[in-house]
Amino acid sequence: MAQNLYKKRALFIVGAVALAAVAYGSKATWLGGSTTAQTPPRPRPVSVAIARAEKKLVPIDVDAIGTVTPISSVALKSRVETTIVDVHFEDGARVKEGDLLFTLDARQIDAQIAQAEGTLARDKSQLALAERDLKRYTELIGKGATTQVNVDNAKTATDTAIATIQADQAILDNLKVQKSYTLIKAPISGRISAASVKVGNFVRPADTAPLATINQMAPVYVTFAIPQRVLSDLRDAMKAKQSSVLATLPGTGKSETGTIAMVENTVDPTTGMVTVRGIMGNERELLWPGILVNTTLTVRSEDAVTVPSVAVQRSQTGNFVFMIKDGKAHVQPVTISRTFQGNSVIDSGLEGNEDVVVDGQLLLSNGTPVEPRTRKAGA
């Protein structure tokens, strides 16, 4: 029994020593950990794309949908009853002022002109006879060889012959005017429509359908509507000759620039809009009468700070941008007045020349270290 008791005591001592060793090691670890542990690594900077806030002249624009209309549009009609002899143009072709378009049958009018010329020649002969009689009677009355009645009658015959000749000349001039109607020429330059008649068709002034229509193509009007709140600024810009309008074909990016030609004298009370008409050079014939275009009316330009619109973030407290300062991103509240060609115009919050983040904002918070990178072209 004494031997068993001795073994138990030995095992107890060994266990106690082991526990003491473990406890000592744990204490050493606790006491020495603060001096031997390394400082936690600093967070890696976030790679972001940046852009510079710029202060520059920014135009004040008003966008609207406009309609292209020709300045002049002429419907060609016949002024005499006759038939078409010839058509001198191709459908849809460009024509110049004075170009011959239609030739009408003029044989009947030619015959009437010949008759009027014969009548005029006969009456001129009658006038010559009357003038000779007047001259003879005037000489005889001086010699006492005739009476005053004969002189007066000769004078009356002469005046009658003169009046007849004037009437004959008027009839002849009228017939020549009628003949000029058989040659239909372009009164303006532009594009002509398809001819509604062909050679051999009978035409008359009472016809409702025109023979063809010519639309002036350069310049043209673009008509659109703007809100009445812009009217005062537009009128001031027109006085200073600073207003301009840009008409763009949807889906193509092609555009024409022009000036304001007219502002309607009333505002539509049901919509609060006023009609504006711009005049466009259209030398390339880009704008076709009747089409719809996107119009941009530039009222004036003003100095303003702009940043790319992708830099502007939104929160419950308002708009803000991440501004880069000392290698860190800082939240900068801003006020946006409007947008222009992918840029936001800043009313307050930036003075210009600040670097703002335009890509990578999702990984940022106030004070996050950043590493600027080159922004991709076209981004």
Q: Return the CATH number at 362.
A: 2.40.420.20
- Looking at the structure, tell me whether residues 209 and 316 fall in a common domain: no
Helix (H) or strand (E) holding 150: helix 148-180
Asked whether residue 35 is domain-assigned, the answer is no
Asked whether residue 378 is domain-assigned, the answer is no
CB-based burial label for 125 (10 Å; 0-12, 13-18, 19+): exposed
Give one DSSP letter per residue of 202-225, joined into a string. EE-TT-SS-SEEEE--SSEEEEEE
Q: What is the pLDDT of residue 313?
A: 93
Q: By the 8 A CB rule, do 105 and 82 touch?
A: yes
Cα–Cα distance measured from residue 196 to residue 207, given in angstroms and rounded to the nearest whole number: 11
- Helix, strand or coil, per DSSP, at residue 169: helix
Our count of domains for the chain comes to 4
Residue type, 222: V
Q: Return the CATH number at 204.
A: 2.40.50.100
Range of the domain at 331: 47-58+304-373
**Cβ atoms within 10 A of the Cβ of 305, count?**
22
Asked whether residue 308 is domain-assigned, the answer is yes
Q: By the 8 A CB rule, do 352 and 53 touch?
A: yes
- Helix, strand or coil, per DSSP, at residue 127: helix
Asked whether residue 26 is domain-assigned, the answer is no
- Looking at the structure, tell me whether residues 187 and 153 fall in a common domain: no
Q: Return the CATH number at 238.
A: 2.40.30.170
- Looking at the structure, tell me whether residues 294 and 227 fall in a common domain: yes
Q: By the 8 A CB rule, do 51 and 312 touch?
A: no
Distance (Å) of CA 36 to CA 23, 27, 29, 181, 253: 19, 14, 9, 113, 68
Task: Print pLDDT tens along the chain (379 aa).
Answer: 444 544 555 455 545 544 544 444 444 443 444 444 556 666 788 899 999 999 988 888 899 999 999 999 999 999 999 999 999 999 999 999 999 999 999 999 999 999 999 999 999 999 999 999 999 999 898 888 888 999 999 999 999 999 999 999 999 999 999 999 999 999 999 999 999 999 999 999 999 999 999 999 999 999 999 999 999 989 988 888 888 999 999 988 899 999 999 999 999 999 999 999 999 999 999 999 999 999 999 988 888 999 999 999 998 889 999 999 888 999 999 999 888 878 999 988 998 899 999 998 888 989 999 998 866 555 5
Angle at 82 between CA 79 and CA 83, to 5 degrees: 120
